[in-house]
Structure 1
Amino acid sequence: MSTPDPVSELVEALHRALINTPAATPPAATSASTATSPSPPVIASPVATPVPFSGLAEDCNGFLLQCSLALEMQPHLYPDDRAKVAFIISGLDGKALRWAEPIWTQNNPIVTSLSSFIEHFKEVFGTPAWDSSVGERLCRLKQGVMTVSDYALQFWTLVAASGWNEQALITTYRQGLDPRIRLHLAAYEDSIGLEKFIQLSIRFATRMQLCLEEHQDQPLFIATLRRPELVSHPEPASEPMNLEHSGLATTEQQRERRRLTQNRCFYCDRSGHYIAECPIHPARSMVSVLLPVLNKMKPLTIVVCLTTTDLCLSAHALLDSGSAGNFISGTLCRQLRLKTTTTPKVYQVHAVTGKPLRKVRHLAGPLHLQVGALHTEEIYLLVLEDSTADIVLGRHWLEQHDPILSWKTGEILKWGEQCFGGCFPNLPIPESPCLHKVPVHAMSVESPLEARTTNIPACYSCFQDVFCPSKASKLPPHRPWDCAIDLIPGEPVPKGRICSLSISEEKAMKEYIKEALSQGYIRPSTSPAASSFFFVAKKDGGL
């Protein structure tokens, strides 16, 4: 048994709707003398065919609006709800058409009710009436390089779904404007309303652009449009009053508003310049004022190596103790071709000021992260789009590894104790049969001046003088066979290699030299020749 083609059935339904137009019923004749008046012809208003809808949520309401206009302007073409639903389905494309195919072919009951079909259509492809992201987009919306008209158009598009009151909308719109336009709109109160406020901003921006194009070669005019220098100047003893305009302002606040709107100087009340370029303003006194200079500090970053199955890349990781997670930028994630998974919940990232930045929905990993030459680990990173840092290692990572940092150089001086068990897996561990039997003693030099209690065995009692420190410290008498070692005159003195000493060895050497000088074993010399000095460890651990 062959399965009916859904596309052919849909085309046939549209064809039946077009040919089954209701015929005009002739009116009944009331009398022989009354002429029969024909029914007025049905005139269809020309309506453009809706743009095919592929399933994008932002296009859902617009597509339904176009379909409702076509159904309203041409009612004779679509006599029942099934024909109207068929017309809407004929305008679908892509995933939206794949969604509607089983609904039509299986004769779902919603295809016989236009209202039910539209309600279900909005549930699948539409956006909720109250979308919290609209408020976030309104807060982030700035004019930037856009014209005021384009900025206002995007603002109006978001206003309808925001649900904000007019006062909040005016404040948000003003904060997103260019500072120059915002400066000239400061004289207007918020009570004029949002619509008029936006019209004023567009009108002022248009006039300002015309003035810039007309006077673009005049440096004086360009200087007047620059933002005035934000420096507090000392108040002069007296300000010249312009009698010509003294009757136009009754209060200081009105006078300041008039100067702002008319681009007048705050000192001489003339147009064409600001107080910073006023020709008659007295020169400021030279006062020694030291203003604090904020040096641009570099963020604390470390170089890490990221390794995947087929790629290895070095990147800079930002150490941020205020971050609640570990992140990787979306650009670097795509560059490494990392596989991502959807997080169980959506995380909202906020700035220090509490302003929402981005929502995180994907997790990348596991990937191999190496810091330095030895420290390695497997880590999962949240994907943060539009991040200026390649990698962000947050507080959880710092608590896990507990590194000691040099805040001046940004280097990691020491890792936490737990890292030696899991982050250094490839380090060789020395094996020794007496690993746990090595004695640890303080190094010292035996001095003959110190009294010692040495237990001499009875069998060596006849050699008691050998073990006497005072006798052992005396030099033996000179013998006839003692001979001098004379150096050859003019020959270079041999030089030995200088070896480094530890702190304990250097201390022991100084004590030995001091005692040897006091005992007369050695004497001070200025000769460039020297003898080697070395240490021999004794059984008790001393030198």
Structure 2
Amino acid sequence: MATNKERIENLEASLGDLQTNLNRMELGVGDKLLQLEAAICKMSDILTTRQEATSGNTNEYSRQSFNGRAHDHTESKPPMFSSKLARLEFPKYSGDDPTEWFTRVDQFFEYQGTLETQKVSLASFHLEGEANQWWQWLRRAYHEEGKEVTWSIFTEELWSRFGPTDCENFDESLSKIRQAGSLRDYQKEFERLGNRVQGWTQKALVGTFMGGLKAEIADGIRMFKPKTLKEAISLARMRDEQLTRQRKITKPLNKFMADTQSPTKPKAVIPMKRLTWEEMQQKRAQGLCFNCDEKFTVGHKCRGPQLLLLEGSNKESDDEEITASMEPQHEISLHALTGWSPHKTMRVMAKIGSRAVVVLIDSGSTHNFISTKMATMLQLPVLPTKAFDVKVANGKPLKCQGRFENVSIDLQGIPFVLTLYALPLMGLDLVLGVSWLEQLGTVLCNWKTLTMEFQWNNHTQKLQGIGAQTIQAVSMKAITKEGRQRGSIFAISFQPDLDSTKQHLNPTMQQLLEKFEDVFQEPTQLPPTREVDHHINLKEGIEPINVRPYKYAYFQKAEIEKQVQDMLKLGLIRPSTSPFSSPVLLVKKKDGSW
């Protein structure tokens, strides 16, 4: 059985034979057409000679095309242009941009060998609409003055009437061209402007084309350093197709991620049912559910969805039926997030596997939480869950998207298997909340000695907490060590009042500073034009200096991009398409800025 490579080679050989046969057929047809053209020209010369011998009048030219049929010898006229191998149609013009039309007309005249005296008649015959009205007016105006419209006059008048104005500077437009839409539209506009400029070198065209591309395309082909415009366009098209394929691959994935993270889509509109206060009291007395007419019990679920509107009063009522059907609200105390241990909380040491962790036992948190950093270090298998908000005491909700089930924890020799939720905790690895405390039953706590006693597996267990945290003075070495590990450092700085500083300045110095206040202002635009502009003279024949940029760390790269964007917004710099380039050197100052 032939392989794919052999099949492709056989197919290429067959296509080569087919191409050879087609070339032979084309040569044969061309010879036949040449013979037919010679016969037609010979017949036309004979008919012209006979007509001149029998008539003394001047021949009047008329437009007619040869269709291969017999001519009427009494009405035979010399052809306007000689027939060629292929049948060409003269382009029509109705008044739009004449650039393309003149190009096609010149090609037609060159191919057919049209005489100068016949060009105006042939071109004017194919004018339509607004262009035809203009031609009628132009011909009458020149006829009244007794002048003849030559081809040069015709082209000049048509360019003046329908051509673009001289206000557009094509060199300037080409140097400022930028890709805003698709690559095809950008290439089309670049070629249109490139056909209207002169004196541009191939290197300048390549640099301009590369500078106008989108960054995602230009960055991918700049490493190949194209030498010609054809090579640059080919590389840009390949890069554009590659990005298009990548978007098609990532689009379904992004859609899937958006569907998994987006809230549940709203269901169809449900008819609203109103319940008055009397109806609520009646259903409560009968033990019926507010939503349906079935008997209400703990864990009761209605069969179908309904929308209820309760018209209540200010009277206090027992809302056990309402709260029983509501989902529990996830909460975490503020000190659990920051890692600080206030009163009625206890920190103990535990182990997850072989790693020691710091656990905060907090009755102000509803569930058990683990820090995102610790979960990543332990490589715990995460279960995808619908994102939900965790309520914090400061009112700012936190998003929780990860759940870890059946996590084994050794709490000072006592094994537990818990369900944990990931949150960005600071200074803590684990928070055990009410969901864990409920499993212990009766707990005896001694806050003075930081101990907890409870019954677990029919044995009395005891947990010993870590000593209380106190604020104390530390050395710079200790702060540095804590910061290198996982501690959080906060600094409070005092800034002097500038107004009070100015008051202590010498009056003479103060007047001098106010007089030249504009010198100390940060620039917001390009410097003004000076008598002598700075420039660097290069020796003849030296190529533009183009040094590749250095490899920067990610934070230096981000700082460079930020400063460039800030200077662009202020107008201190502007985009450049110059082939010259040099790397940027980023130096950090003593005050921490760049």
Higher gyration radius (CA)? 1
Higher-helix-fraction structure: 2
Q: TM-score w.r.t. structure 1 length?
A: 0.30
